[in-house]
Structure 1
Amino acid sequence: MTAPVRTVAASAAARARTVAELFEEQAALRPGATAVLYRDTALDYGRLNARANRLARLLIDRGVGPDHLVALAVPRSPELVVAQLAVLKAGGAYLPLDPRYPASRKAFMVRDAAPRLLLRTAAARPEGVELDEVVLDSAECAAACARYGDGNVRQDERLAPLSPHHLLYVIYTSGSTGTPKGVAVPQEGVADLVATQAEHLRPAPGERVLSWASVSFDAGFWDLSLALLHGAALVVADDEDLLPGDALHGTLARHAIDHATLPPAALSVTDSQNVLQGGTVTSTGDACTPALLGAWAPGRRMFNGYGPTEVTVGCTLAGPIDAADGVDIGVPWTGARVYVLDERLRPVADGAEGELYLGGSGLARGYVGRPGLTATRFLPDPFGPPGARMYRSGDRGRRTADGRFHFAGRADGQVKLRGFRVELGEIEDRLTRQPDVDLAAVLVRGGQADARLVGYVTPSPGAALDPAALRARLADVLPEFMVPARIEVLDAFPTTPNGKIDRAALDRTAPDRPASDRPALDSATGSDGGAEPGSREERLYRTIARLLDLPRVEPEANFFDLGGNSLLAGRLIGALREELGVRVPIRSVLAAQDLREIARALHG
């Protein structure tokens, strides 16, 4: 039998420190060093700490204390970093409300988590959210903060003493029952996270860390901590400058980034040449491939990380790795416990596959307001100290004799898409709630670089379904990355002998087979959009059709309505550069109302 795996945690003294204390230690050591870079603005540790302290005191006076949630509706900016630190200094925990999420989803998160306060900017007011608020870029907020001192917040100033047992953040993830669920993560695992970063990734003062992940995902805290809890500089960029492909490559080069944590989908479409040379790149959020190692490992220190939202960002790390190593998810990091167990919670033999159970200092408390679901996923840990718990991940894996873990897929309907965690059941539930939809199924199609969701529906008797209208209604309730790229209307679903939808048979259906399996397109298909044969416009429309796995596209269609997304926009830019020798700004694709506008951008 495989013995449970434990690792040594940070010392008791180190683990007793909060995020505020860890950051303040760095601010005291190097007050004049750059902490945050954004566009042409630099904010040093001393000024960042002072601004966060003043805002924290305002939050305390507005009733924020330990275990109190504060909603954040703030775009990528130094103000977002100040807000996160201020909430944590006050003793609270942050609840991210991504400005790009549908209003209904943000309103649900606020109702579900019941934050005490909303921090926002003037341009990012969430619709349908009624909370006491502070508008960070208002004259009123500036005047109020100016009345407070800028020294570190003392324990006796808080509404109650703060400890690592208190909440750090609540992050919402996709839910298999159709409802998102909030994962409540305390600060207990942060010291071990920082110790792991220091031991393996070794960020140093003066180095630059890219803030790539959205604050709405736990990886956003990883980026922040990798910089600000080690004395390095956090490089913040606008969303359009982080799109995989040319935009991301340009940002990595322009800011001379030393550390970047990116999902495989982003790495796969971004040129590795002349960026991060001698630096560190960490692949996480999905399975890393040998091809990615071949492209990104040479000349860099490359790592592969694993961990669901229910732990403090991660729990295992592999690296430095190179193309000759093969790909695994490594060993448990500081303070983590990882077990491979069978259906009776017994350790399996080395090399045998089982389910991954995770424990240790970084474990979440559970799901906000869902004690039943928490009880089914967070179980007593029979291998840990008294009172310990472990998380049933739903991931399959195995451990080799040398103690390294290998990921082997999911045991349920959860998938990782472009680094995002998606429950297919939530999308299917939303589809079946639509008028005139009888049954629905959602599959992931394509490879890692072009993975996309495809929805299949059958109409209610006598109903006629419009796939475009269905997609539009889903976009009103689901984040962009959860909206299927295409919806196919079927007369009936293939079924298994017991009457269930035969997903394997559905996956083999001809209407959605990869573009590479189809006959070559010619002008008779209409995919040239009526453009002159051989013209740049015709080649553009053919390229878009190929990327979106469509038989044809029309010039008046919108790229995103056709199933495009930010990742595919980046791939389109790269394809136009390689195939036509034309550099089209990413803004031209993002802002285009139809494909004709993209075509006009081909001519500058």
Structure 2
Amino acid sequence: MEETERTVPTVPQLFEAVAGWAGDETAVVFRTAAVSYAELNTAANRLARCLVDRGVGPDMTVAVSVPRSIELPTVLLAVLKAGGAYLALDPDYPAERLSAMVADARPLLHLRTAELALPAPAAGVDGGADGADAAHAVDVLDVVIDDPVFRAECAARSGDDLTDAERRAPLLPAHLMYLVYTSGSTGRPKGVAVSHAGVSALVEGQHRHLAPGPGDRVLQWAATGFDASFWDLSLALFSGATLVLAPAADLLPGQPLRDTLARHRVTHATLPPVALSVTEPDGVLTGGAVVSTGDALSPALARAWSAGRRLFNGYGPTEVTVGISVGQVTGDEEIGVGRPLPGSSVQVLDSRLRPVDPGAEGELYLSGPGLARGYLNRAAETATRFVADPAGPPGSRMYRSGDRGRRRADGELFFTGRADHQVKVRGFRVELDEVEARLTAHPSVGLACALVEGDLATARVVAYVTLREGARPPGGTAVDSGAAAAELRRHAARTLPGHMVPSRVTVLDHFPTTPNGKIDRAALPTVRPGGPARPVPPGEPTGPGTAVEAELCALVARIVGADGVRPGDNFFDIGGHSVLATLLARQIRRAFDVTVPMRAIFEAGTLAELARTVALARASGA
């Protein structure tokens, strides 16, 4: 056994050490419920023993479908204590994508609450880039954690910490900790396999920069299906601070998020720039710390959010243990991404893997204990991206990130862009190749090209397609009716998460090309051709019926960048998303002098319904 395998702690060891001295401190809060470190540790130990009895052990994957709740950290810790690795399944993802993830990961168990059964894809629905039948055969043992019989079984188990003798094998830092699926350039999401080895360095870096501890309150903002959620969990639970969970609706950027930060007296939060851009900083996180990550931080945002609190900028793709560098920023200087975490390295190399001079741009190559094992079931892609490190000891690897950057003479790192088609949309990583592969899987589509339009808050994926010669137009009607675009968006939504579904699909006769024959992306139309976004059902009015409807449709058209917006449109069907909903609520307040709850925007089936809500609010003086 190597020295690092004996001395580097695993997640259970890190958490149990904190629970030993912070037992009476509050570990987790959700709404009005709270649990102490001692209670959380005991509950996780009991559940872990039940999981071991069902076969969970080191390097075994457990799928988890548990909503934001007081039980969620218990379940995640229990999986890790049993020696397993968790795969968090987001219930908001399309059923086809979830089933593809499960089919790829082959988890031993599926831990879920009663209301979150693993969705079964409809037979015959195509889900891969090749358009083949992808009704995945999923045979996973369900364990319903809120079933009274199972609860009683867990309650009867010992609450003491598990020993390696009780596990199916000793748990080592090299064993798998979690699987996170991220957008894949091949047209299918890819599972990134992350071990326990980098957690200790991550926690050391968090303590060095952010200094969390008892009395602090850390917001769990990121969804569990994203690696950033582990940053929130470790920042709180490996320091004695309190992890604050809240319903998803209370975390929407803007007023809901601001209210949550204030109501729960949050001291530490990690948020993407898009959330910071639509949330007022006054009166929240005062004296605390906020970490911006997931996208470029602008000087204006840095100045706004560094006033009255410490602001940090972080960097790290999914292929490392959440992050690899972090640094404090003020907005009064060039904004970098800090310096590497303890034991980690970020090399700026040229195309021949030679270090570039300070200030020169190159590709960022990442190495250190937090490096992922690679991509699950994708040996070739792993070998391409995780390469030998010529500057490291024999056998060491580095991750070829595809990110461009430079290092200042004093060691500060700067991110300057991408070397491929990977982009960020509202903080989410998106491989445009995956969007294009999904669209070309439709039998009517010949070629597809996807890109991103809009600024930080309004960023959205849009797509352009040409049809195969002789193919029946999608939707079965004339292309210019909008039915083709609507059908292709529905096709994309069967497998792509919401942030990857094109908000607009434009059907072209042919693509503009550059002199060397490639698609000329700069020459693609940026405004949808005139005409409605969808076919008008018989009997539906084609224009606004009231002044409120007319003004509301105009507001929505500007926000989503669409033409021909009508009262019968659904805000989210024509390109709206949660951040744009925040902007819409703000515009409604300014235009009509009323405050409309965010849930009214989400629940309105059409803009006509939302207009009625606005009109009623005006009439009541709300």
For this structure pair, what is the TM-score category when the shorter chain's length is used for normalisation?
Answer: over 0.9
Deviations 1:209-248 (A, max 9, x none): 0000011111000000000010000110111111111111
Partner of 2:495 in structure 1?
477
Q: 1:287 to 1:528 in 2, by over 3 A?
A: farther
Give the Cα–Cα distance (whole angstroms) in 1 for the partners of residues 313 and 175 of structure 2.
29
1:380 matches 2:388: yes
* Aligned-residue offset at 1:601: 2.1
1:40 matches 2:48: no
Give the Cα–Cα distance (whole angstroms) in 1 for the partners of residues 251 and 613 of structure 2.
21
Q: 2:455 aligns with which of 447, 450, 453?
A: 447
What SS does the corresponding residue of 1:185 show, helix, strand or coil? strand
Q: 1:537 aligns with which of 549, 554, 563?
A: 549
Give the Cα–Cα distance (whole angstroms) in 1 for the partners of residues 319 and 372 of structure 2.
5
Gaps of 5+ in 1: 1-10, 514-525
* Aligned-residue offset at 1:527: 12
Partner of 2:111 in structure 1?
119
Deviations 1:58-109 (A, max 9, x none): 0000000011100011111122111100000001110111111111111111
Alignment coverage as a number of residue pairs: 577
* Aligned-residue offset at 1:528: 10
Partner of 1:211 in structure 2?
220
* Aligned-residue offset at 1:25: 1.2
1:596 matches 2:608: yes
What SS does the corresponding residue of 2:179 show, helix, strand or coil? strand
Give the Cα–Cα distance (whole angstroms) in 1 for the partners of residues 414 and 330 of structure 2.
16
- What are the residue-to-residue correspondences of 1:268-307 with 2, within 5 Å? 268-307=277-316
Partner of 1:179 in structure 2?
188
Please identify, of 24-33 and 410-419, the stretch whose mean Cα deviation from structure 2 is larger.
24-33
CA contact (8 A) 1:246 1:573 kept: no
What SS does the corresponding residue of 2:399 show, helix, strand or coil? strand
Give the Cα–Cα distance (whole angstroms) in 2 for the partners of residues 546 and 375 of structure 1.
45
What SS does the corresponding residue of 1:78 show, helix, strand or coil? coil
* Aligned-residue offset at 1:581: 2.3
1:437 matches 2:451: no
Give the Cα–Cα distance (whole angstroms) in 2 for the partners of residues 510 and 182 of structure 1.
34
* Aligned-residue offset at 1:538: 2.9
* Aligned-residue offset at 1:14: 9.7
What SS does the corresponding residue of 1:203 show, helix, strand or coil? coil
- What are the residue-to-residue correspondences of 1:580-595 with 2, within 5 Å? 580-595=592-607
TM-score (normalizing by structure 1) = 0.93
Letter in 2 for 1:484: P
Give the Cα–Cα distance (whole angstroms) in 2 for the partners of residues 528 and 255 of structure 1.
46
Please identify, of 303-312 and 449-458, the stretch whose mean Cα deviation from structure 2 is larger.
449-458
Deviations 1:545-586 (A, max 9, x none): 110111331111111111111111122112222332221111
Partner of 2:75 in structure 1?
83
Q: 1:529 to 1:244 in 2, by over 3 A?
A: farther
Partner of 1:343 in structure 2?
351
Deviations 1:522-560 (A, max 9, x none): xxxx99942444xx4332222111101113311111111
Give the Cα–Cα distance (whole angstroms) in 2 for the partners of residues 228 and 13 of structure 1.
23
Letter in 1 for 2:280: D
Higher relative contact order (CA 8 A, sep 6+): 1
Deviations 1:127-185 (A, max 9, x none): 12431121011112201102211111111100000111111101011110101110000
TM-score (normalizing by structure 2) = 0.90
Partner of 2:130 in structure 1?
none
Q: 1:159 to 1:96 in 2, by over 3 A?
A: same
What SS does the corresponding residue of 1:372 show, helix, strand or coil? helix
CA contact (8 A) 1:588 1:597 kept: no
Partner of 2:131 in structure 1?
none
Partner of 1:461 in structure 2?
469
CA contact (8 A) 1:527 1:541 kept: no
Give the Cα–Cα distance (whole angstroms) in 2 for the partners of residues 582 and 335 of structure 1.
53
Give the Cα–Cα distance (whole angstroms) in 2 for the partners of residues 208 and 597 of structure 1.
39
Gaps of 5+ in 2: 121-137, 475-483, 530-539, 618-622
Partner of 1:4 in structure 2?
none
Partner of 1:107 in structure 2?
99
What SS does the corresponding residue of 1:408 show, helix, strand or coil? strand
1:569 matches 2:581: yes
Q: 1:233 to 1:589 in 2, by over 3 A?
A: same
Measured on the aligned residues, the alpha-carbon RMSD in Å equals 1.7
Give the Cα–Cα distance (whole angstroms) in 2 for the partners of residues 537 and 577 of structure 1.
15
Q: 1:274 to 1:552 in 2, by over 3 A?
A: farther
Overall identity of the aligned pairs, in %: 55
Give the Cα–Cα distance (whole angstroms) in 2 for the partners of residues 537 and 593 of structure 1.
14
Give the Cα–Cα distance (whole angstroms) in 2 for the partners of residues 487 and 76 of structure 1.
34
